[in-house]
């Protein structure tokens, strides 16, 4: 699975510009699917036909990643920018970003600031692509870029940009590949624009009309120095969401995940996340309501260029989803 994860995290795909990552994922799933389609907003929907005795189930992971977007290019060719999704100015300092064509920019910080002890604002940062002026600057207003950082596997820890949520995409792809027989009609949704509006999962779920939906995404941990207390740790198993800022997981979905984990002896944790949400929050509000929950992969340093997950948690997420799909 490592090579699959490497190829997913190193592909470009900020919210709203998911063409490249969609093509990468499509190539990985096509031969295992009964149907592959692209929804009007760009989400990739991959259907695996069940034997007919089960439910219609959506498993959703988002393809998009956080990034930055050029707002203005000055006469010297330096680009000002805003953020796509939740990005802190702190994580931008010293970073390199890459545009859709692979062109790389360095994030610079204005030297003359009133109080240099304060966290800088986005207005005080700029992207330097090495241009000599506005006219020869190859990047333009509206161009999007993502952070660049190589994938690293160290022991059981995997480190990369865009683990949020390419690790969820990898879990879905691997689940599809290993899924042999299932009573359920399973729709693997690789959604667009989760980081900005949750719009891809919302609209795909509307068209599918599922009986049940599970988002597979990352969640924070409480196992780093002086962090916000949270009962989730790296390497202790996938986390079954109870609640986050956007939703309370449907009890039936939460209990299904817990029950199947217990039966199969798969380690799991319970997640109460006090910041952020996932596609599940949007999916549960589609049509008359869809019982929805979330299987979360514990992840340190979310929305930074170096997000860290544990390989064991990733493998156990695949195992747990297969248990969910195994029986009606």
In angstroms, the CA 225 to CA 214 distance is 31
- Angle at the Cα of 222 from the Cα atoms of 220 and 226, rounded to 5 degrees: 120
Taking the CA atoms of residue 230, residue 233, residue 237 and residue 241 in that order, the dihedral angle to the nearest 10 degrees is 20
182 vs 292 by CB, closer to Zn ion: 292
Nearest residue to Co ion, scored by beta-carbon proximity:
164
Of 43-51, 160-168, 199-207, 219-227: span binding Zn ion (CB under 5 A): 160-168
CB of 240 to Zn ion, least distance (A): 16
| H or E stretch covering 157 | strand 157-160
| Active-site residue flag, 194 | yes
22 vs 184 by CB, closer to Zn ion: 22
294 strand-pairing partners: 215
| By CB under 5 A, residue 64 contacts Co ion | no
- Partner whose binding site includes residue 217, from Zn ion, Co ion, none (CB under 5 to 8 Å by kind): Zn ion
Q: How many residues bind Co ion (CB under 5 A)?
A: 1
| By CB under 5 A, residue 164 contacts Co ion | yes
Of 41-49, 113-121, 156-164, 231-239: span binding Zn ion (CB under 5 A): 156-164
In angstroms, the CA 309 to CA 8 distance is 14
61 strand-pairing partners: 190
- Choose among 279, 297, 284: nearest CA to 240: 297
Of 37-45, 157-165, 235-243, 247-255: span binding Co ion (CB under 5 A): 157-165
CB of 241 to Co ion, least distance (A): 14
164 vs 279 by CB, closer to Co ion: 164
In angstroms, the CA 280 to CA 284 distance is 6
- Work out the number of other CB atoms within 10 angstroms of the CB of residue 24: 19
104 vs 272 by CB, closer to Zn ion: 272
- In the set 18, 28, 194, 195, the catalytic residue is 194
What DSSP string describes 186-250?
EEEEEES-TTTT-HHHHHHHHHH--SEEEEEEEE--S-STTPPP-S--TTS--EEEEE-SS-B--
- Work out the number of other CB atoms within 10 angstroms of the CB of residue 222: 12
327 strand-pairing partners: none
CB of 279 to Zn ion, least distance (A): 8
CB of 195 to Co ion, least distance (A): 5
Of 66-74, 83-91, 101-109, 215-223: span binding Zn ion (CB under 5 A): 215-223
CB of 194 to Co ion, least distance (A): 7
| By CB under 5 A, residue 18 contacts Zn ion | no
Pick the binder of Zn ion from 18, 28, 143, 217 (CB under 5 A).
Answer: 217
Q: Which residues are catalytic?
A: 194
Q: Kindly list the residues in this chain that would bind Zn ion in the complex (CB under 5 A).
A: 164-165, 217
Q: Kindly list the residues in this chain that would bind Co ion in the complex (CB under 5 A).
A: 164
């Amino acid at each position: 699975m490592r090579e699959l994860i490497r190829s997913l995290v190193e592909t470009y795909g900020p919210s709203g510009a998911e063409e490249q990552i969609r093509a990468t994922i499509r190539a990985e799933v096509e031969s295992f699917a009964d149907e592959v389609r692209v929804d009007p907003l760009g989400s990739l929907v991959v259907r695996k036909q069940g034997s007919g005795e089960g439910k219609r189930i959506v498993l959703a992971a988002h393809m998009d990643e956080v990034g930055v977007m050029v707002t203005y290019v000055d006469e010297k060719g330096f680009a000002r920018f805003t953020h796509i999704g939740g990005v802190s100015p702190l994580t931008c300092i010293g970073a390199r970003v890459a545009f859709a064509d692979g062109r790389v920019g360095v994030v610079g910080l204005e030297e003359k600031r009133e109080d240099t002890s304060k966290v800088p604002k986005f207005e005080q940062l700029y992207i330097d692509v090495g241009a000599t002026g506005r006219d020869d600057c190859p990047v333009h207003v509206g161009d999007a870029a993502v952070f660049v950082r190589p994938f690293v596997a160290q022991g059981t820890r995997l480190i990369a940009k865009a683990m949020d949520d390419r690790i969820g995409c990898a879990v879905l792809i691997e689940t599809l590949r290993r899924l042999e027989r299932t009573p359920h009609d399973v729709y693997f949704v690789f959604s667009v624009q989760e980081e900005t509006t949750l719009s891809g999962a919302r609209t795909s779920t509307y068209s599918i009309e599922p009986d049940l939906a599970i988002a597979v995404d990352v969640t924070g941990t409480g196992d780093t120095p002086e962090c916000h207390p949270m009962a989730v740790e790296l390497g202790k198993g996938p986390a079954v969401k109870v609640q986050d800022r956007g939703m309370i997981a449907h009890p039936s979905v939460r209990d299904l995940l817990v029950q199947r984990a217990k039966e199969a002896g798969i380690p799991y944790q319970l997640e109460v996340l006090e910041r952020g949400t996932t596609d599940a929050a949007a999916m549960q509000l589609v049509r008359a309501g869809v019982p929805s929950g979330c299987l979360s992969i514990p992840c340190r340093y979310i929305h930074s260029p170096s997000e860290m997950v544990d390989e064991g948690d990733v493998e156990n997420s695949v195992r747990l989803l297969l248990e969910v799909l195994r029986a009606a």
